[in-house]
Amino acid sequence: MDTAVERAIECIREHYGEPLALARIAESALLSRFYLTRLFKEETGLTPGRFLAAVRIHEAKRLIGETSMSITEVSYAVGYNSPGSFTNYFTASVGVSPSRFRRLARDGGDGLPATEPVPPVPQQGQGAVGGTVALPGGHGNARVFLGAFATPVVQHPCAASALFDVPSGRPSCYSLENVPEGNWYLLAVAVADSLGPDRTAHRTPLVGGRGVMPVTVTADGVTSAAVRLRPSRPTDPPVLLALPELVPPVTFVPPPGCPSTGPLQGADDQRRAAGHLRLVSSAPVP
């Protein structure tokens, strides 16, 4: 890693399980605490302390999903002195408790709880965000989660969200409706197939959206925002929200028009009632 912010993030990722003060992080970056904090926030949208907290919860998700460690053991391993505090913070960030996340991870993400909306403000209006999603070159079809968040971290709660497919080679339309008016970070997480005979050989995680500058949503208005996906960088905050397994579709045959986020009917209603995200179609832009 070359930049001061990247050196600070390397320190965080290597020592997240230890008591890690800002002074030690700044020392690793060869900067003062004040200057590092300013640079760090400009590049990531977060303070070093908030980035550290996100890394700890992300590593906890990995340990809970991939090991047999107890929740208490996980909490100590990621730098928490109190299992109770860890459980509360994990639940608030991920959207489910550690024990439920373990069950979901073993089921492949089936049964993902619905993203709860941000608590409404009295007389607060709602608008929409719409635009296109584009994949980087050299990737196959992708399944994308897109949401509006209060912070530059994909974490609970989410103001509005959609789960949809994007074909290789062409931008696609998206639409987020019923977004409360205000400023929101538009963040996307995706997994793309590789090109070639074995499309699953090298699936690539992708991220995108407005991670530093939020979009402004006005009541009864539509905010236009293009989303360009790319491979993740070391400076990207970890994804904390419990998401379904993003398995790209084998084939993609889009219907005419852009995605609809209107009322659900029939089986879709039952899936939402059961706490699932709704999969909407996304048609390529002509």
Q: What angle do CA 223, 229, 230 make, to 5 degrees?
A: 145
pLDDT of residue 277: 42
Of 207, 212, 214, give the one whose Cα is nearest residue 135: 207
Report the pLDDT value the prediction gives residue 229, as an integer from 0 to 100: 95
**Tell me, what's the pLDDT at 127?**
95
**Amino acid at residue number 54:** A
Task: Check residue 194 and give its pLDDT.
Answer: 86
What is the full per-residue pLDDT of the chain (286 aa) written as tens digits? 469 999 999 999 999 999 999 999 999 999 999 999 999 999 999 999 999 999 999 999 999 999 999 999 999 999 999 999 999 999 999 999 999 999 988 876 554 554 555 666 667 899 999 999 999 998 889 999 999 999 999 999 999 999 989 988 888 999 999 999 999 999 999 999 988 777 767 889 999 987 678 999 999 999 999 999 999 998 999 999 999 888 887 766 554 445 433 333 444 443 333 333 444 433 444 4
Q: What is the pLDDT of residue 275?
A: 35
Has this prediction a pTM greater than 0.95? Answer: no
